[in-house]
Structure 1
């Protein structure tokens, strides 16, 4: 599940559709801080804060993102939850 600016999208198809529908041509992430913690069942919770540079805009947008990686049955990790928020105001 992806929560983007208060909207929820569940499943790979819905998440991909949301991401490709965003009106940006070019996005650059500048990570300021990243904190990680182990979670249940060999998972990892990651909290990231930083800046987004969108298209040719010189003023970065602040963002925060929390996501959880879970170990799958074959030992690989997948994104189980993802919450993203632009910090505007």
Structure 2
């Protein structure tokens, strides 16, 4: 289950670049289904299956949060590197 949790953490970081936060709802439901499937393959008990599903959902959402912070921080460090941003800010200042 740990490799699955790490994979979902990386998937959350990657999805924060392209998807809005509302996309986390179906993606989290899909992650829960995958976690339950893996738990059934490993013959885990019901309580361990529920814990694994919530751990995978939490890893996905934590990865999205961390990715969102990283992306916002990167654009805050270099705000004028894109021509669109420079012209947009120049038009707002006028």
TM class, shorter-length: under 0.3
TM-score normalized by the length of structure 1? 0.23
With the length of structure 2 as denominator, give the TM-score of the two structures: 0.22
Q: Which structure shows the higher helix fraction?
A: 2
Q: Which has the higher contact order (CA 8 A, sep 6+)?
A: 2
Which of these two proteins has the greater Rg computed from alpha carbons?
A: 2
